[in-house]
Amino acid sequence: ALAQHAAAEFWQRWHVDLRQRQVEWQRLLFLAEVAKRRLSLQPSVELKARAIALSVRGPIDLVTTFDRALFEQLCGELVGCSLEIVEGCLREAGVSPAQVDRVVLTGGVSRMPLVRERLQRYFARELPLLVDPEQAIVIGDAIYGRFLELAQRGSGLHRPSLIHISEPTSPA
């Protein structure tokens, strides 16, 4: 969302579409990811890309500032769709939010204040980060990979088992 917004602003000012330039677009995507992570910890961030495009007058820099409110506005619909998926899963399982003992947030996006606020409102309680969100993804992939390996060998294992892997961490 941040990269799209920055590219649209750049287009309006310079009439250069960074989304159509593979190298420049990848640079912008990387910088937007860094900005997204920083916005989880601070209220605003400046995104700078030196010489991201060239004109007849020379290199053009991209410099823009994002604040958390704009970021949340750009991502609000996507976060809402994600919450609908959570609601659907619980509905399909016949479980209410109050019946869920523990919620483990995984993936870098779970560090976003908007995501945490909406989930805390939905589950009507504080949701601490029990595991590092990125590490949880890696551990989950490793467990699933082992499950697939055992299933391929015909070990009789038909579904992965849930195991306790959490250790309190600080949201850095």
Taking only the tens place, the pLDDT of each residue in 81-130 is 989 999 998 999 899 999 998 888 887 778 888 999 999 999 999 988 77
Query: CA angle, corner 84, sides to 95 and 30, nearest 5?
Result: 125
Mean pLDDT of the chain: 86
- What gap in Å lies between CA 110 and CA 127, rounded to an integer? 10
Is the backbone of residue 144 left (phi > 0), alpha (psi -120 to 50) or beta? alpha
Residue type, 118: R
For residue 34, the Cα-to-chain-centroid distance in whole angstroms is 11
Q: Tokens in use for 96?
A: 């209410």
Evaluate if residue 149 carries a pLDDT over 80. yes
Evaluate if residue 132 carries a pLDDT over 90. no
pLDDT at 171: 46
Residue 25 · residue 19 · CB < 8 Å = yes
Q: DSSP label at 44? A: E
Round the CA-based radius of gyration of the chain to a whole number and report it.
Answer: 21
